[in-house]
Structure formats: C-alpha cells, structure tokens
Amino acid sequence: MNALVFLIPAALALGLAGLVAFVWSLKSGQFDDLDGAAERILDDEDD
Amino acid sequence: MNLTIRHDQAVNVDAVPASPAHKTPFVRELPDGLSRLHLMVDNIHCAGCIRKIEKALHDTPGVARARVNLSTRRLVVDWTPSAIRARDLIDIVTELGFPAAPFDPDAFGTKDETAERRLLLSMAVAGFAAANVMLLSVSVWSGHDGSMGVATRDLFHWISALIALPAIVYAGQPFFRSAWAALSRRQLNMDVPISLAVVLAAGMSLYQTAVSGQHAYFDAAVGLLFFLLIGRYLDQRARTKARSAAQHLIRLTATGANILMQDGTVRSVAVNDLSPGMTMVVAAGERLAADGLVTKGRSAVDNSLMTGESMPVDIGPEDRVYAGTINLTAPIEVRIEAAGDDSLLAEIVRLVEAAEQGRARYVRIADRVARIYAPAVHVLAAIAFVGWLIAGADWMTALMTAVAVLIITCPCALGLAVPTAQTVASGLLMRHGVLLKSGDGLERLAATDVCVFDKTGTLTLGRPELVNRDAIDAEDLAISAALARRSRHPLCQALANAAGVQTGRTVTDISELSGRGIEGVVDGETINLGSAAWLGVDRGQHPPHSVEDDGCSEVWMVRDGRPSVVFRFRDTLRPDARATVEQLRGMGIAVRILSGDRRNIVDSFAAQIGIDPADCEAESLPAAKAEQVRALTDAGHKVLMVGDGLNDAPALAEGYASMSPATAANVSQTAADVIFQGESLMAVADTINLARATNRTVIQNFGLAFTYNLFAVPLAMAGVVTPLFAAIAMSGSSIVVVANSLRLGLLKWGKRS
C-alpha cells in the first residue's frame, strides 16, 4: 500500500512529462512540416 | 504565329515605388527590425528543391532566414527591408524554376491549421488520460477477486475521475460542439450518441465513485474519445491538404493595378477599388487585375488560365484581355470594362461554385450510416432502460445498463471505418502522383459509370509536336533547331526537341521580336524563323493546306536565297490514351469526348483512340459542356468528367466526380476532386480501381463494426457487460478495422483486371 504513495504520482508525473513534451513539440512547430522533415534528412551537405 | 519570349509568372508586389505610407499587405514587420514575407511556391517536390531555394536565399545579402514548408508548399523569408526589395526575393525563387506568389497568412489557411492543432492537442490530452486511467483500471480489475480493499478501489476511482473529467471536458469539445450544432438544427449525427455516451458514462462513473460503487467507466469514456479523435484528426488532415492545394488559386489574382490618372500620373489602386472606365498600365510580366480592352501597345498574353492552351496569344489595340492572365512581352494600356466580381474569372468561379453546391448534396457514406445508426442506438438504450425498470430493477441499474448500451454501440470502429481507409488510399495515390482533393471524391469516383474526356490537354498532352518532319530537309531542321533552341517560345522549344541533341553549330547575333520571330546567324549564315506575315512568305508557292494541317501551328524559316520552309506543329495524343479507353470499357464504364474543338479534328482523334464519333460532342462552349454533363446525369448516369481548361471547370463541377491533369488551369484544379500528374492517362482508370477497392474496404469496415455490435449489444442489454469487457471489445474492434484498412495499402497500383 505504501508503495502506491510513490508509484501513482510517479506514473502520473511520467505521463504528464510526455504530454508536456508533446505540447512543447507541437508549439515549437515540429509538426508543421512532416513531409519536409522526411526529405531534409537526406540532405547531408553542411553549409 | 506568335513568337514571343515567355516570362515566368512574377507577381507584382511592390512594383510601384509609391509613397512610403504605401505598404504591401504581404510584408510583416518583425520586432527585431526584420521583415517577413510569406510565399506560396509551386513545383517543390524533394530535398533538392528545398535546398536549392533556401541556399539561394541565404546567399542573398540581407536575407536572415528562409524556411520552406514542404507539406504546405510555402516559404517564409525574413530579411532586412533596406537591403533588398520583396519583389526581388520573389524573382530569385521564380528564376530557380519555382513560381512563387506572396500571400496574406492571416487570410489563408490559419483556420484549418488551428483546427488541426486543436485536434492534435485534444488527441494528446485524451491519449495521456486514457493511458493513465487504463493503468488504474487494470489494477482494479486484477483486484476484482477481492484482493483489493474497497478503500483502495475507491482511491483509484477518485484518481481516475481526477484525470478523466478534465480530459473529457477538454478533449470532448469537438464532439460536443458538433452534436449541439446538429441538435439545434433538430438533426441527429454520429456525434450525438458519442457525446451522450461520454457524458453519461462520466456522470454515472462519478456517481458510482461517490457512493463507493464498483461500476466506474472512466477508462471506456476516455478511451472512446481517444480513438475517435484519431479518426477525426486523420479526416481533418486530409481536408487541410486538399484545401491548401486549392489555396494556390490566389496566384490568379493580381494584388493591385497601376491606374493612369487624368493628369497623366500613375497611381497604384487596390483590386477592390477598380472600376470600369479606368485605364490601367500593365507592365511586362504582370498579371492583369481586371477584364478590359487594350487601348495602347502590342504584346502577348499567357491565356493558359482561361483556355488551358500553353501558347501565348498576341494582342493589340481593341483586343479583349481578361483578369488573371499574364501580360508577357511589352507594356500595354487597358481600359477596364469589368472588375472584381464582374470579371470573366469571377463569373467562371461562380459557375463552378453553383455546380459544386449541387454536389454538396452528396451524403457521405459515414453520414448515411449515422442517419440510421444514431436513432437505432438511442432506441436500443431506451428499450434497455425501460425493460429493466419493468423487469423490476431499480432505476440505478436500469440507467447503468442503458449507458453500457450507449458505450458499447458507439465503437470507435465506426468512427475509424472511413478515415483510416481513405488515409491509406490517399497515401497510395499520392505516391503515384495522384492528389486526392476531397475525401468523398473517392466514394463518388467509385460509383461512376460514364467517363467524359475533354480533348486538348486531357486526351492530348497539350504540347505541340512537329508533324511534317518527313517533308523537311535534315539540314534545314538542324540549322533552324540550333537557332530555335535559343528561344523559350513553345513552338521553338518543340522544334529544338524534334531535332534532338546536336552540337557544333555556333549561333550569334540573336534578336527576338516579340510576336513575330527570331533572327540569328548560324555558322555564318543569317536565318530567320517566324510567322509567315513577318517573313513575307508567299503562300502561293507552297502546296495548299490539307485537312490534316487544319489546326496546326506554323513556323516558317527563311535562309539567304533559298525557298522558305514551313514547320507544322500539332498537339499529340497521350501515349496510353487508347489503352486507357479500353481499360475503362473493361471496367464497365462508357467513354465519351466533349470538346470545344472543330468536328473533323475531334472525329480524327476519336478514331485514333477507338471511340465512336457518335459518342463525341464537338464545338462545345463552357456552358454547353456543363449542359451535356447535366443531360447525362439526368439520364441516370454518374458522370466522371476529366478536363483541364478553364472552359471545362463548370463541367468538372457539374460532374458526379471529376479529375484534372496537373497541367490544368488552376480553376479547373480547384473544381476537380482528383488531380493526376504525368503523361499517363491510365491514372484515371487506376484511380477508379483504387476508389472501388477503398469503397469495398469501407463497407467491410462497417460490416466488421456491425458484427461486433451484433454480439455486444445483446450482452449490454442483458446487463452482463463489465467495464473490462467493454474496454477490450472496443479496442479489439478498432484494431480489426484499422488492420483491414491497412490491407488496402498492399493493393498493387496499376494491377488491372
């Protein structure tokens, strides 16, 4: 029973961290151009 | 013939160095002193294109950032306004071979993007809640044998409620709004039982939790939302993609016009403020902002928007010009006759819209299912409630059973049936160069039984090719091709292509006279290529036109002291046109031609691809084309119209379904459901094939979802459904449906029966 006191908040915190990370990636425009990202990785020339 | 230099389509952003107060609506000032320009760019396909554009801009002094978005075919440039003009930035991109046009980001597409983002957020929240609530539920189920104390169970239920309720309030909004909108119109849609089930399930579960009961359905409610949001998001993405293709239509509209005032000065006037009687000055390379008559100057215009014909048309005083076309070679003055909503462009767009409203009456399969399904679900739930009350159960148990019926009958499988199949199909189409513009386009395409083709640009490539090669001396061809290669005129390009690769000839002193021809010195000999009138050719010395030569374009060549030579060009048939016609017939689809061209030309084309002249309509005007399609529709046929010109647009919109080649006029592309790329016409037959397969898959999906209901509903009404059973059954049926849709992706493209 005592384990629950830590485990449930821990599970929730991990889930929330995932959610926050997703919201951040959405806000920072990482989902704006999925096709472009797939192509850009092929471009290996640095300049 | 008209020999002109073809300019790339450049749009006039800041052509007028007007007062400093005059700002273009496309340029945004950023807080860090830079300016930002949003551009729509065509022809971007791959990493190479992205790199080329971004590198060229980064190498331009003054440009701080340039970022291409491949999904939306857009480009954002941040630059120092004092270093370079916006117009020059557009020219840089355009000269790389990517026609670009500025747009106002506030007016275009932001609504779709916000909606898509909102759905994605809702999905994330529902997913987070579903995962965590499920975690707690699994614990409760494992403790169902009594190993878990009541206090622990209640604690878990309370935590579930704490996670689920806010998530439902936030993530359920797309469904609640839509359900409310339907109810206030006194209608039922799929969202009504969904919303009811979610709200009732959450409410009941909360009550159960409060009274320390064991029937909490939080996992089912949140899981239902999560799965349905996936379907909704896929649907929204498909629609945004289609709309962003249509948004490229704005490239047609000029941003303003330069008006010649009474006192001889020129002022820049916005399109909305133009009125008949004004005289506008149109520079070379500029798009016309209104319909009118040319008053001064000679030039050539690119009418491809109107007619789908790639050949520039010569214009001079008293000639009519139309809004949306591009003035190519020399400045002209135009007296405006019709502006804004009165222009021919606006008129055709209206025709298309009117016809599309007719099409909007089409009811999608999913909605047809919902119309029967939603009332049935409510009736079943009501029967369960009343039945249990009559059977002597307390109202609480009766209500719980009714809620269970609502949850069980509202499987995500139904919500996923259509979007998953269509997402897989449109992905497959996209890989083969076919762009699906509307989701229900596929449904309609699958049902068509008559296919009507336009001729120019659809059955043919819309590109001239040399037809009298046999009558031309090889040396004449080689010499003229060497000169023709230096011109960008379509006929010169065709001539150069006909001669093939050749080297070793020096061409000097080239001068090109717009609308007339080109002169140059090839290996020391002066050569003239151009129209008969310009070269002073005496047609009497040449054999007269044969019927075959009708409709051919001509280029004449004159060499010092030799007889003049004529090159005739004609549009060529798509290579697999005949095979496509046979394939369509094999699929049970009748094939017809509907052309604006002359009778004898249409008949000769029809014979070449094996269509009975009786099935061909020639010399049809745009309105007549739409009329013919309507007549076929009235006769009980479901017509697929395939066309490319603006003159086809009303017919395209009138058809039950419609397709356009990627070379089509923009308005036609907007009116069409499907756009195909490349020279092959077989894409038409292949797309119909895939559409039929997609429809089969959708029907299978509904079948699977209903089979599940067939077993689950009696159990739910009998009151033996536990939350565990509901959750497993729901995810199980969804996975089966998704797997069935993915099967569509295994379909071999081009595999024909």
Q: B76 — contact with chain A (CB < 8 Å)?
A: no
CA distance B66 to chain A (A): 14
Mean pLDDT on B335-343: 80
Chain B residues whose beta carbon lies within 8 Å of the beta carbon of residue A35: 70-71
Residue that has been written with the tokens 């969904």 in this structure: B194
Range of weakest confidence among B35-49, B123-137, B377-391, B605-619: B35-49
Residue of higher predicted confidence among B19 and B287: B287
User: How far apart (Å, rounded) are the C-alpha atoms in residues B318 and B81?
Assistant: 41
Handedness of CA B331, B335, B337, B341 (dihedral sign): positive
Q: pLDDT digit string (tens) for B298-322?
A: 888 877 666 556 667 778 888 888 8
Preferred mutation among B46, B55, B58, B70 to probe A, highest tally of A CBs within 10 A: B70
Which chain B residues have a beta carbon less than 8 Å from that of A4?
152, 155
Mean pLDDT of B101-117: 70
B132–A42 CB contact, under 8 Å: no
What is the spatial distance between Cα B706 and Cα B713, in angstroms, rounded to a whole number?
Answer: 10
The interface predicted TM-score of the complex, written ipTM, equals 0.85
B71 touching A, CB under 8 A? yes
Task: Output B6 or B452, whichever has higher pLDDT.
Answer: B452
Distance from CA of A37 to the nearest CA of B (A): 8
Are residues B326 and B251 in contact, defined by beta-carbon separation less than 8 angstroms? no
Please, what is the average pLDDT of chain B?
80
Nearest chain A CA: its distance from B46 CA (Å): 6
The residue ranking higher by pLDDT, B434 or B42, is B434
Does the beta-carbon distance from A43 to B135 stay under 8 Å?
no
Is there a contact between A22 and B124 if contact means CB atoms under 8 Å apart? yes
Contacts of B121 in chain A (CB under 8 A): 23, 26
pLDDT grade, residue B1 (50/70/90)?
very low
Residue spans of beta strands (DSSP E) within B20-106? 27-29, 35-41, 63-69, 74-79, 100-102
- Of the listed ranges B128-132, B206-210, B511-515, B731-735, the one predicted with least confidence: B511-515
**Distance, CA of B574 to CA of B551 (rounded, Å):** 18
Contacts of B744 (CB under 8 A, 6+ apart): B421, B424, B425, B428, B693, B694, B697
Neighboring chain B residues of A22 at a CB cutoff of 8 Å: 124
Least CB–CB distance from B117: residue in A26, A33, A39: A26
Query: Helices (DSSP H) in B41-172: which residue ranges?
Result: 47-58, 86-95, 110-142, 150-171
Cβ B654 vs Cβ B629: under 8 Å: yes
What residues of chain B, 590 to 629, have a C-beta less than 8 Å from chain A? none
Which residue of B57, B128, B133 is the best one to mutate when testing the A interface, meaning the one whose CB has the most A CBs within 10 A? B128
Residues of B with CB below 8 A from A19's CB?
124-125, 128
Answer whether residue B332 shows pLDDT above 50.
yes
**Predicted confidence (pLDDT) at residue B404 exceeds the cutoff of 80:** no
- Which range in A21-25, B10-14, B284-288, B729-733 is most confidently predicted, on average pLDDT? A21-25
Q: Is B159's CB within 8 Å of A8's CB?
A: yes
Interchain contact, B128 vs A15, CB within 8 Å? yes
How many CA atoms does the CB half-sphere of B518 hold within 13 Å?
Answer: 25
Average pLDDT, chain A: 82
Would you call B43 exposed, middle or buried from its count of C-beta atoms within 10 A (0-12, 13-18, 19+)? exposed
Q: Measured on CA atoms in the order B354, B356, B359, B364, is the torsion positive or negative?
A: negative
Q: In percent, how much of chain B has pLDDT > 70?
A: 84
- Confidence band of B172 (pLDDT split at 50, 70, 90): very high
Q: Which of residues 123-162 of B touch A (CB under 8 A)?
A: 124-125, 128, 131-132, 135-136, 152, 155, 159
Query: Across the interface, which of B46, B125, B135 has its CB nearest the CB of A11?
Result: B135
Flag whether residue B431 sits within 8 Å of chain A, measured between CB atoms: no
Provide the pLDDT for residue B8: 33
* Region for residue B693 given its phi and psi (left: phi exceeds 0; alpha: psi -120 to 50; beta: otherwise): alpha
Decide which of B343 and B753 is more confident. Answer: B343
Facing A33 at nearest CB: one of B69, B120, B152? B69
Is B121 in the A-facing interface, judged by CB distances under 8 Å? yes
Helix axes B395-409, B723-743, angle to 10 degrees: 10
For B152, name the nearest residue in chain A, comparing CA atoms only. A1
Q: Do B51 and A43 touch (CB under 8 A)?
A: yes
Q: Which of B327-336, B369-378, B490-499 has the highest mean pLDDT?
A: B327-336
The per-type count for chain A, helices as H runs and strands as E runs, is 2, 0
B2 pLDDT above the threshold of 70: no
- B454 carries an active-site annotation: yes
Distance from the Cα of B48 to chain A's closest Cα (Å) equals: 8
Q: Does residue B163 belong to the interface with chain A, where contact is any CB pair within 8 Å?
A: yes
Is residue B361 packed enough to be buried (19+ CB in 10 Å), middle (13-18) or exposed (0-12)?
exposed
pLDDT attached to residue B489: 73
Q: What is residue B444's three-state secondary structure?
A: helix
Distance (Å, whole) CA B141 – CA B682: 56
Q: Which of B454, B597, B644, B686 is catalytic?
A: B454
**Residue B591: pLDDT over 90:** yes
Contact: A47, B125; criterion CB under 8 Å: no
Least confident of B249-263, B269-283, B498-512: B249-263
Q: A12, B163: Cβ pair inside 8 Å?
A: yes
Separation in Å, CA of B508 to nearest CA in chain A: 39
pLDDT tier for residue B10 given thresholds of 50, 70 and 90: very low
Pairwise CB contact (< 8 Å): B71 & A39: no
Q: Is B267 on the interface with A (CB under 8 A)?
A: no
- Tens of pLDDT, residue by residue over B232-264, are 887 777 666 655 555 555 455 566 788 888 888
Q: Does B53 touch chain A (CB under 8 A)?
A: no
A-B contacts (CB, under 8 Å)? 54
Nearest to B131 among A15, A32, A36 (CB): A15
Q: Is the pTM of this model over 0.90?
A: no
Angstroms from A24 CA to nearest CA on chain B: 11
Convert the pLDDT of each residue in B649-676 to its tens digit: 888 888 889 998 887 766 677 778 888 8
Residues of chain B neighbouring A25 (CB-CB closer than 8 A):
none
What is the model's pLDDT at position B693?
92
Q: B193 CB contacts (<8 Å, ≥6 apart)?
A: B373, B374, B377, B378, B406, B409, B410
Rounded to a whole number, what is the distance in Å from the CA of A30 to chain B's nearest CA?
A: 11
Listed in sequence order, the residues at least 6 apart from B422 whose beta carbon sits closer than 8 Å to its beta carbon are B234, B235, B238, B436, B439, B442, B694, B698
